[in-house]
Structures are given as structure tokens and as C-alpha cells.
Amino acid sequence: MWHFISDQISQQTQNDFICDDIRDMDAGDSHKAYRISDGRKRYFVKVNHADKLPHFEAEAEGLVHFDKTQLFRVPQVICCGVCEDNSFLVMEFITLSQGDDQAWADFGKQLANLHKNQTQQMYGWQDDNFIGLSPQPNRWHKKWPQFFAEQRIGFMLQLLAEKGHKLGDIDEVVSSVENLLSGHNPVASMLHGDLWRGNTGFNKNQAVMFDPAFYYGDRETDIAMTELFNKFPAAFYQGYEAAWPLSEHYQYRKSIYQLYHLLNHAVMFGGHYLQSAQATLKNLHN
């Protein structure tokens, strides 16, 4: 496999590359990851079973779209494909470090500018993609409450039901979420879609983003995710608010948006995420 990947890198970069150093890297729970090198150039490689190629193709597409904004540094996509029983995605290797308060504040401002990138009038995306290992439907919709209720909450509840976890009547929950968001017609912002600390970092105090679950939707969904698991530092939110203040009603919608990610984690991992999702669903009805 590594010989094949080396050949693909050589073809795409038009520079000879022969991998002679392979090191395991952390890529979360979804894929295996490696840093490969020929002594001069280094690349970050994700590997999974061959049937996961659509995941890597979707990730590559999202990274390319973020790169076009020139607002964030993202790993440059080199190539992706299949070799025998494995699919792979090769990207630029970026050394990540911790950011200081100013770096986090700048990150917040950059994200606000990304969210201001209003090139769409509808919600969704031209392609379905993935959030973690879960499929994410993105059929275009003119109305945000219906889009989020059906394609985010309803879809995740259906995935859970297929795994034997029925968290109430799906149609009733979808209707409830739609009603809670009724009248909310946000700008269709370009979203990262899965914005937590594990999908961000800094290189020389410059924000780096990766592993997107790209689509156009309510900017508040990105912010809500940053507050769900290991909340971002205060400087990030100060930077964001300075560039584009959030609505005073954001706190009301935050738990609705966080429910999507709790349901996704329940689909992937079960356990206490199921309990958290159930508790959030119960609170929505109170």
C-alpha cells in the first residue's frame, strides 16, 4: 500500500517521493492515521477500509472549499483513492501547537468572517457528506427550521432507531424542533459543521481547521458545537463577538443545535451520549 501511495504522491506533486518512515498518528476514533516521510517531505495519511472512500472524498471536497476562502489555513489535499482493501487520503502535514489568547481571538474573528461568506440563499450543500462516520444529508432547503429538524435531528433519530435505540416518536420530535425554530431565518453561512477542539489547532499562532462536515446553515450551529465538548477559550468568543455579535436568542437555540451532535455521538458510541441526548430531548419539551 505504501509503495502505491508513494507513487500517487509523486504523480500529484510531480516530485519523486519514496516513503521510508511511517509513524502512527492520532486521528480520533474514525480512521487510522500516519505521518509518512522520505526524509525531505512529510505527509499526513488517513487510512480505512475501502468502502470508506466516500468519507475521504467528502473530507477532501470540504477542505478545498475552505481553502478557497483564504480565511483559514487548511491541510492541502494531495490525493485520495483505494489500494487493495484500503482507502486513503493524503494531505499536507502541518505541525500543530497550542494557541495563545491573541491567536484564539483571531480565530474567532476569522470564523465570523467565514460565516459572513454569504454565497448561498438556501440551506444544505450540493452533496451529502459525513459527520464523523455518520452520513449527513444536505438536500437544499429554503427554510431553516425544516432543514434542521428533518435532515439533522430527524435523520439522526432514524439512525439511532435502526440501531435499536428509539428516543420517542421521530415525527413528533421533528415537529417539535421545527416549532422551536419557527420564525428563525438565519443567513446561510458557510459552516465547518463539526467544530470542536479535536478538529482545530494552530501553526505559528495561525488557526488551522480540518475534518469538516461542510454545508451552508445557521452560524450558531458552529458556535454551539464549540461549547459542547471542551469549550473553546473565552478569547475565541470575544474575537467572534467583536466581528459579528450573536443574537440574544442564541442561548435559546444552543441546546437544540447541540442535540444534533449528541445524537451523532450516541449513534457512533452509545453509552452516556444516549443518556445526554435523552435528557436534552426531555428538556426541549419543557
Residues labelled catalytic: 194
In the numeric block, which cell numbers belong to residue 218?
A: 445557521
Q: Left if phi > 0, otherwise alpha if psi is -120 to 50, otherwise beta: which for 214?
A: beta
By residue count, the chain amounts to: 286
Do 141 and 212 form a contact (C-beta atoms < 8 A)? no
What does 157-188 look like in DSSP terms, one character per residue?
A: HHHHHHTT---S-HHHHHHHHHHHTTT-----
Write a three-state SS string for 12-48. Answer: HHCCCCCCCEEEEECECECCEEEEEECCCCEEEEEEE
Angle (CA) 166-169-171 rounded to 5° is 130
Angle (CA) 213-216-218 rounded to 5° is 100
Separation of first and last alpha carbons in the chain: 54
